[in-house]
Amino acid sequence: MSKKFIAICITTHNRYEYFKRCYDGWIKHLPPDSRIFVVDDASDVPCPEATYRFEKSAGIPKAKNMCLELAQDFEHIILADDDIWPITEDWWLPYVESPEAHLSYCWSDIRPGMYGNAHYYSIGKRLYEDDKLFSFSHPRGQMLYIDAKKVLPRVGGFDPAYGKGMVEHVDWSWRIHNAGLSTWKNQDVIGSEDLFYSIDENQNNEPDFVTTISDEMRTVIDQNNQRILHAKGDSSEYIEYRENTIPQPVDKQNNVVICGVFTGKPDFQINWGARHSPIADPQYTRDVALNYADDLKDSVMRHEQKLVILNNIADASDGNTRYIYTGCSEDPYKNRFLKALHYLIEHEEIDNAWIVDSGDVTMNHNPFPEMQRDKIYVGCETMNHLGCNWMLQNTKNSYYQHWLNTNANKTLLNCGLLGGSRENLIAFLTKMFYIWGYNVDNMNLIDMLVFNVTAYEHFKEKIVYGVGLVNNRFRSMEATNEGKEFWLHK
């Protein structure tokens, strides 16, 4: 374990009674090789535990940035307000062991009308959940976790444009998400409610709870800062948190093909009839399941490329092929993109990658030497269009039914082939999960629809597709006359 493992950074302003409870809680459950930094934003009575004190109130964004500057040499950083603390040992393990570079403590059942105005907080709900992670409908900024080595060089810190504060943490989380460093905008680890005590969350049990901003001032600041936030759109800009420093890019050199084999989960998109779906059959043996991608594996090996098979069976290796156990949620279709996204985020050394179906395609022509860095390559079905019966029958959402009808004559892109630079793939997959996570109804959208919406609406200037280039004619099992397409669909 690194000697600079976890930095816990607490900001405080004129709430020493709450701060002391908070500080003592962190001290009691401090992880090994960790340190607490305290930034006092010019409290009327100076905080005696402060590592750094502003002589004049700087506001939340600058106070948080000072935390990041103090903690920048640590592997992991926790940014905490002065009203939350851990209540159990090893609270930090699920955060540092998560593949996500950014997480935040999220809670439900908020008391409506807190701060005198129901506009600020509502009940909130979980939009997605698996055995390790859940996404949440509302942002929370009370406790923010980052993998510092991934987030700080790419996104930096908080935007001082937010002045005294309000939604500055939303801006930071959204920029981290837009940079492809988190799967969902608002996400937390499973079981976090048993790891922390939050005064903000438990106001009904805290009759003396006070905030440092009045309701009237909060409304004015919030209205202004909301305009700043939404004007940024999909920004992933870097914002410097230190003085006179410029982040240095990391040189990357590597190519890989990624696929997924997930068994024991229902295949709700295909009617297999009397046949067994390979991903649904709980009796699928380990060896048979791991051999499911053998045709793909052989073709990739012929072109001397590397293959990663993400799966819920076992870890193994065979020459240039790695089998990596990732587990699987109840929806294997989302899961294959989720695990591929996690893999790309984790492996900064990757230059270019393809995410492909495990049993339907084989490599026909090495794509990597011919790929342009600013393009995203996708499969297509020349005999089908967006308005085909299958897409309409499997899309129940009225908004997206209208979208399909409006774009009915466009070529149906096939989500079994997706290639590009690591950065472009992370951006593309992150946008897919943004669409899924936009609301509860969107979680039921099929992957083929979300893939096409992402490509046509958000990356239309980047996408490249076509028979004879990316893939052969869908289901033809033969190459075109030129035989130069990257992939063959079986």
Within this chain, do residues 46 and 118 fall inside the same structural domain, yes or no? yes
Mean predicted confidence (pLDDT) in 212-216: 61
The whole domain housing 140 covers 6-231
Range in 82-91, 227-236, 414-423, 481-490 with the lowest mean pLDDT: 481-490
- The candidate with the shortest Cα–Cα distance to 463, out of 374, 377, 371, 354, is 377
Contact call for residues 364 and 485 (beta carbons, < 8 A): yes
User: Could you give the number of structural domains in the chain?
Assistant: 2
| pLDDT tens-digit readout, 342-366 | 999 989 889 999 999 888 889 998 9
Within this chain, do residues 33 and 121 fall inside the same structural domain, yes or no? yes
Within this chain, do residues 219 and 341 fall inside the same structural domain, yes or no? no
Q: What would you report as the CA-atom Rg of the chain, rounded to the nearest whole angstrom?
A: 24
| pLDDT tens-digit readout, 254-285 | 899 999 887 765 554 554 333 334 444 445 55
pLDDT averaged over the chain?
84
Domain boundary among 216, 231, 246: 231
Domain annotation covers residue 76 = yes
Give the dihedral sign, CA 338/147/137/238: negative
Within this chain, do residues 426 and 340 fall inside the same structural domain, yes or no? yes
Contact call for residues 377 and 367 (beta carbons, < 8 A): yes
| pLDDT tens-digit readout, 97-148 | 999 999 999 987 554 444 444 344 445 788 899 999 999 888 888 999 999 9
Within this chain, do residues 224 and 272 fall inside the same structural domain, yes or no? no
Contact call for residues 375 and 420 (beta carbons, < 8 A): yes
Q: What is the DSSP string of 257-294?
A: EEEEE--SS---S---TTSPPTTT-TT--HHHHHTTTH
Domain annotation covers residue 245 = no
Domain boundary among 199, 231, 263: 231
First to last CA, the chain: 47
Within this chain, do residues 210 and 280 fall inside the same structural domain, yes or no? no
Rounded to whole angstroms, the Cα distance separating 333 from 116 reads 43
Within this chain, do residues 192 and 114 fall inside the same structural domain, yes or no? yes
Within this chain, do residues 34 and 168 fall inside the same structural domain, yes or no? yes
DSSP 192: G
Domain annotation covers residue 315 = yes
Domain annotation covers residue 241 = no
Rounded to whole angstroms, the Cα distance separating 362 from 486 reads 9
Domain annotation covers residue 250 = no
Within this chain, do residues 169 and 313 fall inside the same structural domain, yes or no? no
Within this chain, do residues 121 and 153 fall inside the same structural domain, yes or no? yes
Q: What is the DSSP string of 347-415?
A: -TT--EEEEE-SSSEEE-S--GGG--TT-EEEEEEEEEETTSHHHHHT---HHHHHHHHHTTTSEEEEE
Region of 167 (left: φ > 0; alpha: ψ -120 to 50; beta: rest) is left
Which CATH number does the domain housing residue 128 bear?
Answer: 3.90.550.10
Within this chain, do residues 173 and 312 fall inside the same structural domain, yes or no? no
Within this chain, do residues 265 and 208 fall inside the same structural domain, yes or no? no
| pLDDT tens-digit readout, 143-196 | 999 999 999 999 999 999 888 888 899 999 999 999 999 999 999 999 999 999
